[in-house]
């Protein structure tokens, strides 16, 4: 069996680019997204990572592929509001998708990544290193993701699971216009 890459947020932007590149490198691609795909991948799971059960998602992947070699946590959303005008439900949703879904999906994938001595790639942002006006909620969610990535790397070192925190700047993917 080919090595398996699981990519969240696979339908657009960086997720789509990751899928194309990993497929070129010979990986079997499992994509997770809410929206319809216009790319060729091997197995697609239509899921809302905020609402759907992460354990069931992991079980579906293992049932189909038998292994997980790379997990790319790419799904995310932006929030461009002042703290004063920000709605509580918007901030909660932001953290559910950008942070909590990453933590709990990764947790469900760890037993399978341990078997393959796999890699977790968390897609973060330079916004998780600085604080910007009118982006405080987004920055805070990425700070949290960075802290998770760095601490998880230390925890999984002895299990030979690599944890990479990919900190990206502004990329023309349409993300800002969708957030």
Rounded to two decimals, the pTM is: 0.93
Q: Are strands 162-168 and 119-125 parallel, antiparallel or unpaired?
A: parallel
How many separate domains does the chain show? 1
CATH of the domain at 63: 3.40.50.720
Residue spans of beta strands (DSSP E) within the chain: 4-8, 28-33, 43-46, 70-73, 119-125, 162-168
Name 23's Cβ contacts closer than 8 Å, sequence gap at least 6.
29, 40, 41
Region 28-54: mean pLDDT is 95
Active site residue 80: no
From 16, 33, 142, 149, active-site residue: 142
Contact 179, 134 (CB under 8 A): no
Q: What phi and psi values does residue 166 have, to the nearest 5 degrees?
A: -90, 110
Whole-number pLDDT of residue 175 = 46
Active site residue 124: yes
Domain range for residue 19? Answer: 4-178
How many Å from the N-terminal Cα to the C-terminal Cα in the chain? 38
Active site residue 138: yes
Give the position of tokens 């230390």: 154
pLDDT tens profile 116-147 = 999 999 999 999 999 999 999 999 999 999 99
From 33, 124, 141, 149, active-site residue: 124
From 138, 141, 143, 149, active-site residue: 138
Whole-number pLDDT of residue 36 = 78
pLDDT tens profile 74-89 = 999 999 999 999 999 9
- Cα–Cα dist 80/137, whole Å: 8
């Amino acid at each position: 069996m080919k090595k398996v890459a699981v990519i969240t947020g696979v339908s657009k932007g960086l997720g789509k680019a990751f899928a194309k590149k990993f497929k070129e490198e010979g990986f079997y691609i499992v994509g997770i997204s809410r929206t319809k795909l216009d790319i060729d991948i091997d197995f697609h799971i239509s899921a809302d990572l905020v609402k759907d059960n992460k354990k069931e998602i992991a079980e579906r992947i293992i049932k189909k592929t038998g292994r997980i070699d790379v997990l790319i946590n790419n799904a995310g959303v932006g929030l461009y509001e002042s703290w004063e005008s920000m709605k509580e439900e918007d901030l909660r949703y932001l953290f559910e998708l950008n942070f909590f879904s990453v933590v709990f999906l990764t947790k469900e994938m760890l037993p399978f990544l341990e078997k393959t001595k796999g890699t977790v790639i968390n897609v973060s942002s330079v916004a998780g290193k600085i604080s910007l006006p009118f982006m405080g909620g987004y920055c805070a969610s990425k700070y949290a993701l960075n802290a998770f990535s760095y601490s998880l790397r230390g925890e999984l070192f002895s299990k030979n699971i690599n944890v990479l925190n990919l900190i990206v700047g502004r990329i023309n993917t349409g993300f800002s216009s969708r957030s």
